[in-house]
Amino acid sequence: METTRTTLVVGGTSGIGLAAARRLAAGGDTVHVASRDPGKVAKVADAAPELVAHRVNGSDSAAVAELAGSLAPVDALVVTIASSAGMGPLVDLELAELRRGFEEKVIAMLTVLQAALPHLAERASITLVGAISAHAAMPGTAGIGAVNAAVESIVRPLAVELAPRRINAVSPGLVDTPWWDGMPEQARTDYFAAAEKGLPVRHVSSADEIGEAVALLATNTSITGTILEVDGGARFVQL
């Protein structure tokens, strides 16, 4: 008798994480989502009854371990923790902000992996979310690009070290998510409109499109050590 997979999405209460969680739930997984933001947790509990929402800070190793342990064995772990710290041209780059970016994303992701590892199934999947800035030549992204390159650098060594568990990452380009909420609405609209003209696919990605890619990596048992670029062709053009 086939059993339902247990999936944990850390950072799964908004944007790409929420889209991935809903996609995996639609595929039959029992999906738990975790966030440090109580407002987002409450919103998911009301708006997405197919998901089980938990208030957990991904940087809190003990809290992550407790949650993962309560769900063990976890068949799929998705980590979509994000940070916007480290943006800006080199001449203006605040190194303290860049350090915060590494703490908020890279160290937090490693914290989640380390804490959850003992509670993962023998052939569990791990899926991380980086960003195009890891390998694109976009002015003003040297700092945040270093953060996302560090995320992607985790994947290949752990694909060997943690085998037969699998680990992969999605590398999105421009995605219409709450990550952009700090930008004034009109400026954001204008930026996306200009970007769409340059992208080979002629549209800015939706969270659902990236969530679909996350679900693919989480469920396809032959994929490991892979960085899947889902950027609408942005890597081929100068935006």
pLDDT band at 20 (very low <50, low <70, confident <90, very high): very high
pLDDT on residue 2: 59
- How many angstroms separate the most distant Cα atoms in the chain? 60
| pLDDT tens digits for range 111-162 | 999 999 999 999 999 999 999 988 888 888 899 999 999 999 999 999 999 9
* Mean pLDDT over each residue of the chain, to the nearest integer: 92
| pLDDT tens digits for range 209-228 | 999 999 999 999 999 999 99
pLDDT band at 1 (very low <50, low <70, confident <90, very high): very low
Residue 130: count other Cβ atoms within 10 Å of its Cβ: 27
**Hey, which bits of the chain come out as E strands?**
6-10, 30-35, 51-55, 74-79, 120-129, 166-172, 175-176, 205-206, 227-230
Question: What pTM value is reported for the model?
Answer: 0.92
What is the C-alpha to C-alpha distance for residues 189 and 229, in angstroms, rounded to an integer? 24
Average pLDDT (27-45) is: 94
| pLDDT tens digits for range 54-78 | 999 999 999 999 999 999 999 999 9
Q: Could you give the domains of the chain?
A: 6-231 (3.40.50.720)
